[in-house]
A and B are shown apart, each in its own frame.
Chain A
């Protein structure tokens, strides 16, 4: 009988997280405080984060010990199994060997408790009585509610109104774990009330919910705020995934040629791939692919070029991924590209050519999710389907090339609370039309004469 999954014994759970900051080939610059012009420092963040998390945010230590109290809680679902997707391989007829790390076995159903647990713990030992946060459809809110309950901390979640109304199950999960979930905008904060005064029927937004959560944390004694993606300490906590995976791949006697993950805020992707990025920095040949939803082609199809930050060419030239000033101006940040909403660490690693971004259309992701469910059984979160779609592409490429590649992807969560998305797909409601290539090329003509920045080597 062939081995299907590799399960590490609890005694083999990694005792440290990996911090990539000291290994970054291109150091990252801290953002500047808008008032002082100085780099943002610990005291600026102390109203919302406990000091141990702030220290981790700026740490240059390569490995950071995981406290026993967190390890004990991680053992509820960790180490997570590494699966060999033999049925998918067979279905595709590929010589590639496909592995996936199942992060969907956590109580909340995704990778998010990896950092929620750590954040709850550090808040607990710092004297925090309650944690405030925002959530969209509730993945993060439910993960944090679960972890707060284990450390006896109150959890207050501002859930975007449109999600609160349309996605009751995750809200009920939060309440089951003892969290308090309110629809945002709410009447509980100044920022919420001012929105409701202008528009009593406001469906809310993540921006409003964040404002409410931070206001709540800052204005209530013993309260702090928690964020589930983007920040360095979040990426750090997630690396337990990749560190486990390295041990499991070694047990399988394999090493990945290709690593794939979906990248929204970047945390599940970072968690799986950063320990392997370290290997790549040290000479290993790995193709590490960040998969994002196909966008009005931005970082995957626009060259990293200098462009004008505004359409009337008033601002200085700034480096950004761009399709030209007459197209969709792209985001920028101090020190390089910051793909809007994505973790700066991931953006920087893309610039450093250690991670390759790939975009994929929605229909293909659902097709891949259905194929995966019908071969491997698991129903994936729609975001996870992005990684599966590119895994299938890579496996078929290996078939064409006749190469026995080893492909590893991060199965970041199940989709059992997301069946409405599958319903849209299965009922044929979704349609897809890629932007014609000629349109992109026409837009790129605009930026041809502009100088290219140092980082651009393409």
Chain B
């Protein structure tokens, strides 16, 4: 793998559209509980060959999980988190 396929170091930061601050690739690479943030390809494709790098670094299953799962509408993900929190509450009680 050539150097153009390797991610820049932590001193190289770009704007994260989700957090609203400068961020390095190492954060994006593991943001989603060890998997890349779903926007990693979008944000980094113009800085190095991120797609090729991650295809090599991730298993096909991890790739699928990180980039191929259809996102849920926001309201739906909120409802799921509410249900999850209710269960936590019941366990506490």
Q: Which of chain B's residues has its CB closest to A35's CB?
A: B83
Interfacial chain B residues near A211, Cβ < 8 Å = 81, 84
Instruction: Assess whether B70 is in contact with A332, with CB atoms less than 8 Å apart.
Output: yes
Chain A contributes a number of interface residues (CB within 8 A of B) equal to 73
* Interface, chain B (partner A; CB < 8 A): 11-23, 27, 31-33, 37-39, 41-43, 45-47, 51, 64, 67-68, 70-76, 78-86, 88-89, 91-92
Roughly how many angstroms separate A424 CA and B16 CA in the complex, as a whole number?
13
A-B contact count (CB 8 A): 167
Please report whether the interface of chain A is mostly helix, strand, loop or mixed according to DSSP.
Answer: loop
Given A162-B23, A296-B41, A310-B68, A215:B85 Cβ within 8 A: yes
Given A218-B86, A432-B46, A139:B79 Cβ within 8 A: no
Which residue of B17, B22, B41, B80 contacts A424 across the interface (Cβ within 8 Å)? B22
Q: Which of chain B's residues has its CB closest to A343's CB?
A: B74
CB distance from A398 to the nearest CB of B (A): 28
Interfacial chain B residues near A329, Cβ < 8 Å = 67-68
Which residue of B18, B22, B89, B92 contacts A420 across the interface (Cβ within 8 Å)? B22
Interfacial chain A residues near B79, Cβ < 8 Å = 33-34, 40, 44-45
Instruction: Assess whether A362 is in contact with B15, with CB atoms less than 8 Å apart.
Output: yes
Interfacial chain A residues near B45, Cβ < 8 Å = 295-296, 435
Asked whether A418 is an interface residue with its Cβ less than 8 Å from the other chain, the reply is yes
Instruction: Assess whether B18 is in contact with A338, with CB atoms less than 8 Å apart.
Output: no
Interfacial chain B residues near A309, Cβ < 8 Å = 68, 70
Roughly how many angstroms separate A333 CA and B37 CA in the complex, as a whole number?
19
Chain A 418-434 interface residues, beta-carbon cutoff 8 Å to B: 418, 420-421, 424, 429-434
Interfacial chain A residues near B78, Cβ < 8 Å = 45, 48, 214, 227
- C-beta contact mask, A303-346 vs B, less than 8 Å → 1, else 0? 00000011100000010000000001101111000101100100
